[in-house]
A = this chain, B = another copy of it.
Amino acid sequence: MAARTYGQYCGVVTALELVGERWALLIVRDLLVGPRRYSDLKAGLPRIPTNILATRLKELQAAGVVRRVPLAHGLVYDLTEYGRGLEDVVLALGRWGFRAMGEPGADDVVTPDSMTMAFRTAFRPAAAAGWVGTFVVHVGDVVLTLTVDDGDLTVTRGPTDGAALTFAAGPAIREVIAGRVSPDDAVRTGVVHVLDGDPAALTRFAEIFHLEAEPAPVVPV
């Protein structure tokens, strides 16, 4: 056991010893969206072996990051207050990883919780200041409602009536969020399919949800 420690007295090392194991931060990512049952977590992380999920949940509890909350029937896992402090870490990782995202792999999936955190990552409160409205986004079979209220963002699953704009998009939506494809071009080239509302609102969307594309990785030949 002591063999698998990093053996340094350092905050980064302490953090990695708590949440540095494989899958741990992805469990945290999903729990940042809300409390989840075991089966929810399993569904949100289709490739996690069930024994690993069980092991991680125990480790995260022992670390004071996650706690079990008994429910009327069943139970949920929730982040502790300390665990919620990982939001900065997860957002920073998402922001950095975004710049290395290429095309999705053949069997890559998109989950509601990962998309929710992605939109939280891309959200720019300053750009949303003074604006109130709702977007409904379809990506794959994930449908999310993004409720923007003057610098605050709430993401919920499923559609909502009365959205300023409802649209469907594929993975190429990242080009819009990166600012590499203009909203107009996105609509014209079919990257974005407007289902309802005013297509012009996509400009507002791109202002509010934006991630830096640079510096992107340059891989050696």
* Alpha-carbon distance between A217 and B19 when the two chains are bound, in angstroms: 13
Selected A-B contacts with CB under 8 Å, 18 pairs: A5-B47, A7-B47, A9-B108, A10-B114, A11-B94, A11-B97, A12-B25, A13-B97, A13-B114, A14-B97, A14-B98, A15-B94, A18-B97, A63-B217, A64-B100, A64-B218, A67-B220, A84-B215
> A80 to B12, Cβ gap below 8 A?
no
> B94 to A7, Cβ gap below 8 A?
no
16 additional A-B residue pairs with CB within 8 Å, beyond A14-B100, A18-B97, A82-B217 = A8-B45, A8-B114, A9-B110, A10-B94, A10-B115, A11-B94, A12-B25, A13-B97, A13-B114, A14-B98, A16-B26, A20-B22, A62-B220, A81-B215, A88-B95, A89-B89
Tell me whether A9 and B109 are in contact in the complex, defined as CB-CB below 8 angstroms, given that A62-B219, A62-B220 are known contacts.
yes
Query: Which of A23, A95, A111, A171 is the most central at the interface, judged by chain B CB atoms within 10 Å of its CB?
Result: A95
Q: How far is the CB of A20 from chain B (nearest CB, A)?
A: 7
Query: Which of A11, A25, A67 is the most central at the interface, judged by chain B CB atoms within 10 Å of its CB?
Result: A11
* Alpha-carbon distance between A148 and B141 when the two chains are bound, in angstroms: 52
> A64 to B11, Cβ gap below 8 A?
no
User: What are the 7 closest A-B residue pairs judged by CB atoms, nearest first?
Assistant: A64-B217, A15-B97, A14-B97, A11-B94, A11-B97, A11-B98, A9-B104
> A105 to B26, Cβ gap below 8 A?
no
Let me know if A210 is at the binding interface, CB within 8 A. Answer: no
Q: Of B96, B97, B109, B118, which is within 8 A of A7 by CB?
A: B109
> B12 to A29, Cβ gap below 8 A?
yes
* Alpha-carbon distance between A130 and B111 when the two chains are bound, in angstroms: 48
Question: What copy number does this chain have within its complex?
Answer: 2
Chain A interface extent, by class? 35 or more
Which residues does chain B contribute within 8 Å of A63, judged by CB atoms?
100, 217, 219
* Alpha-carbon distance between A86 and B84 when the two chains are bound, in angstroms: 21
Let me know if A197 is at the binding interface, CB within 8 A. Answer: no
* Alpha-carbon distance between A216 and B14 when the two chains are bound, in angstroms: 13
Let me know if A107 is at the binding interface, CB within 8 A. Answer: yes
* Alpha-carbon distance between A82 and B61 when the two chains are bound, in angstroms: 34
